[in-house]
A and B are shown apart, each in its own frame.
Chain A
Amino acid sequence: MKEFVLLVYTSSHAIGIEKKLKNLGVPCKLSSIPRNLSSDCGICVRFDEIGLKTVEDLVKTLPFDIQEIVALES
């Protein structure tokens, strides 16, 4: 299954989003950001395609902006 990462501007947003997704039953995990995606030093949320719709819906309700959702090259 295709994997995605959700990139945020600060690691605390990643932690908050991961918690919300887990509460919504979406399998996901915090992981280091693949270096080719960002020059930043924080973390991102990694999830499978199956969770994509829920993630996109959640993002619309957040009080802060996210960077982007990126499909990982397998």
Chain B
Amino acid sequence: MVNINPIIKAEDLVKRYGELTAVDGVSFHVKEGEMFGFLGPNGAGKTTTMKMIQCVSPKTSGKLEVFGMDVSAHEREIKKYMGVVPQENNLDPDFTVYENLRNYSRYFDIPREDAEKRIEELLNFVQLQDKKNVMTESLSGGMKRRLVLARALLNNPQLIVLDEPTVGLDPQARHLIWDKLRSLKKRGVTIVLTTHYLDEAEKLCDRLVVMDYGKILVDGKPSQIIKDHIGTGVVEVDNHPGIVECLRKSETSYEVMGEIIVIYTNDAMHISDQLSIECALDKMTTRKATLEDVFLKLTGRKLRE
């Protein structure tokens, strides 16, 4: 592959809020046209990282470049070519759907005629044509999110940064958003997002990082990350006394997670056969390893916030 300059380049990026270090020396590159995910439990520092990329929160130290420009010196320039979907919807409640977009387009100096054309296209794209003259309060959660997405696309951005674009949406609304992101990616837009939906991240992200306590724990292609940290398969068995003992003897890699034991392997068939013979197990579930397994293995099961 040709070596192109990254769209985002972060090196040893740090963000402190007073005593608290929210982002603790992260480094990553996002390439042009890529869909790049940030995963991690609540409080991991994802939103803080997104805000620094969006040039709305200044970094404490380290290096952060977007489109090859330093975020602290070129914020207006960078923001001109970026679209933003913030974690919290901030649509203008004083305006209708159409007025929200029209008003926002002015901040980018989009001429009236171009803006009107673009708004029609975008309302079609996010399937909100028939809500054009509705006040935003009366939209459903999914519609609001789509409108925020449309707003982020007004300026034809080369990069869009989305902070939990699908949080709190029902499956239909969620799929619609992911579908839109996929078609944006096809058009060559670089996409950076945070999400809690690991299965979707696994399917859609070209590369991703898992963050916790302000640090990046792993990065890479989803399939590679799973292979490296889990293997190809997982066998789950009920946590009975005696089983741990047997597992220890059979030298498999496993983890006790409350009522169940999870065994990581590259050969699920073999392990399950072996276990049913050696440990006299009859109840087992064998499945493919997923990103969720990696996530839980790396960040633990403890509840956050």
Q: Do A and B come from one complex?
A: no
Chain B residues close to A by CB (< 8 Å): none
Chain A residues close to B by CB (< 8 Å): none
